[in-house]
Structure 1
Amino acid sequence: MNYFELFSLSTTYQLDLQGLAVSYRELQQKYHPDNFAADATENQVQVMQKAAQINDAYQTLKDPLSRAQYLLSLQGIELGGEQQTINDIEFLMSQMALREQLAEIENAADPEQAIDDFSKQLKQQRSDLSSSFEKAYNEQNFTFAAEQVRKLKFYARLQQQLLQLEEKILDY
């Protein structure tokens, strides 16, 4: 089952997230297990499986990184558990600098402002990589598109670490 087809969407990176949410709610309502409580057990199981597929599809398509990986998987490129390294030295150096910057936030004079500034920086860089991915994907340069997704994964991890640091700082 193609997730884009499930929600009647074009197979593109840019999505109407509001339209996705509307389609999701409609499908969720249509395949809600309570609607089939009186059916045979076999049909109930099928409906529950369909509901689970709808949830998986929605979670995948609503997240830009997951959506990019899914688009590549439709082209036969699986990035899920791969351990391929990035050979872009400039990118790796910038990641080291960002990690140092993240480590310094806790000791900043105004940690909350430092978090906000760092978050904006990450958002901009992720946006640039997303645009680069989309251009490469649309041009069917899947090797370069996959490289952009690998880089986006670095930013996703940084964002997660930033959120953890923010929780730690705000809990004080």
Structure 2
Amino acid sequence: MNTHFSLFRLPETFELDNQILEQRYRTLAAQFHPDKFAAASGFEQKQAVMMTATLNEAHRVLRDVIERAAYLLKLNNIDADSPEHTHFEPEFLMQQMAWRETLMDAKLENNAAALTELAQTINQAQTELHRNLQVAFSENHLEKAAELVRQGRFLQKLQQEIHAV
């Protein structure tokens, strides 16, 4: 089965060497760039466009820690984002509510310092979550990894909302 990992000749593991990923992506993107197929047949041009789209999607997924984790889980028949997986630890939910309240207050008060501090706090939480994902995958605790993916999505969304202010 062809996977995003096999496309870039990388092992199907959570830990990746991002430099190798970027290097192989650039090499393949240059090799299959549609401009190189301008004089080719319509079929070959279409193939180049499809390959470029596939490369771009695979690269997007593998370079993002949460997307890569979710993809690895799907390869193991676990859909971390499926609707039946909505349970979160009460501590995580309480923390989310507190951060959202801080965000709302900072927006209302137009408090840039509070937004910066919240962004740094969320960044630290994301770093810790990524370490926990690494441990979960290394110990083959896939259900724990799925829970962490869901938490990671919350943190990403919160960061996006902070930076959108």
Do both proteins adopt the same fold according to a TM-score greater than 0.5, normalized to the shorter chain? Answer: yes
Q: Offset at 1:69?
A: 0.7
User: What is the rounded CA distance, in whole Å, between the counterparts of 2:131 and 2:36 in structure 1?
Assistant: 42
The match for 1:77 is 78
Unmatched segments (≥5 aa) in structure 1: 166-172
Q: How large is the RMSD of aligned CA atoms in angstroms?
A: 1.7
User: What is the rounded CA distance, in whole Å, between the counterparts of 1:50 and 1:156 in structure 2?
Assistant: 29
How many residue pairs align between the two structures? 164
Q: Between 48-57 and 11-20, report the one with greater CA deviation.
A: 11-20
User: What is the rounded CA distance, in whole Å, between the counterparts of 2:45 and 2:82 in structure 1?
Assistant: 33
The match for 2:42 is 41
Q: Offset at 1:112?
A: 2.1
User: What is the rounded CA distance, in whole Å, between the counterparts of 1:52 and 1:131 in structure 2?
Assistant: 30
The match for 1:143 is 143
User: What is the rounded CA distance, in whole Å, between the counterparts of 2:46 and 2:108 in structure 1?
Assistant: 53
Identity %: 35
User: What is the rounded CA distance, in whole Å, between the counterparts of 1:83 and 1:157 in structure 2?
Assistant: 20
Query: Relative to 1, partners in 2 of residues 1:2 and 1:38: Cα closer, same or farther, differing over 3 Å?
Result: same
Paired letter, 2:145:
A
Is the CA contact (8 Å cut-off) linking 2:70 and 2:80 kept in structure 1?
A: yes
Is the CA contact (8 Å cut-off) linking 1:86 and 1:150 kept in structure 2?
A: no
Map Cα deviations across residues 3-27 of structure 1 (whole Å, 9 max, x no partner): 1121122222232223222211110
User: What is the rounded CA distance, in whole Å, between the counterparts of 1:116 and 1:83 in structure 2?
Assistant: 34
Q: What aligned pairs does 1:1-80 form with structure 2 within 5 A after superposition?
A: 1-80=2-81
The match for 1:121 is 121
User: What is the rounded CA distance, in whole Å, between the counterparts of 2:88 and 2:108 in structure 1?
Assistant: 32
TM-score by length of 1: 0.87
Map Cα deviations across residues 48-102 of structure 1 (whole Å, 9 max, x no partner): 1111100100111111111111111111112345352123111111111111111
Q: What aligned pairs does 1:102-121 form with structure 2 within 5 A after superposition?
A: 102-108=103-109, 111-121=111-121
Paired letter, 1:124:
Q
Is the CA contact (8 Å cut-off) linking 1:72 and 1:78 kept in structure 2?
A: yes
Larger RCO (CA within 8 A; separation ≥ 6): 2
TM-score by length of 2: 0.91
User: What is the rounded CA distance, in whole Å, between the counterparts of 2:162 and 2:147 in structure 1?
Assistant: 23
Paired letter, 1:86:
H
